[in-house]
Amino acid sequence: MRGEPIVVLLVEDDPAHAEIVRRNFETSRIANRLIHLSDGQAALDYLCRRDVFSDPATSPRPGIILLDLRLPKVDGLNVLKNIKSDPLLEKIPVVILTTSAAESDIVKAYEYHANSYLVKPVDFHSFTELMDTLGYYWLVWNQHPAPKGE
């Protein structure tokens, strides 16, 4: 790890799931900054630096995006499709973190170039373990280039 905080964009409409992610990252030894948005339109506005997210100083590019599929306003698959079709955003790793284990969702997510697809476990302990493993893999062990546009 390079020592600087990694910006994690969490796009999740379920407050309980978002809280599990926040608490896990907070109690882990992973240096990061978690930005939580609860709908797909806000995620696209943030990533494209529109409206209230127009200032790069307060809306830094994420090093990774954790994206739910079932989101209000713009669903996660459309958010993913937009991210991966934008030259400034396409290299940001996007991990689908969803309750859907539907084969059609998995296939579509990978067609749209998701970097990983994880199904949220039902029980709290397993979800916490998943977040711990995810955090260490993507935020500590995985090597990736700095985001464009910074």
pTM: 0.85
Residue 91 reports pLDDT greater than 80: yes
Task: Report the distance separating Cα 147 and Cα 124, nearest Å.
Answer: 32
Structure tokens at 135: 């955090």
Quote the pLDDT of residue 1.
Answer: 41
Q: Report residue 82 CA to chain centroid gap.
A: 14
Contacts (Cβ under 8 Å, ≥6 apart) of 93: 63, 64, 65, 115, 116, 138, 142, 144
**What is the three-class DSSP state of 11?**
strand
* Among 4-18, 47-61, 66-80, 129-143, the least confident range: 129-143
Task: Report the distance separating Cα 76 and Cα 18, nearest Å.
Answer: 15
Task: Report the distance separating Cα 65 and Cα 88, nearest Å.
Answer: 14
Quote the pLDDT of residue 114.
Answer: 95
Q: Give the chain's domains with CATH numbers.
A: 6-141 (3.40.50.2300)
Please give the average per-residue pLDDT across 80-105, as a whole number. 94
Residue 146 reports pLDDT greater than 70: no
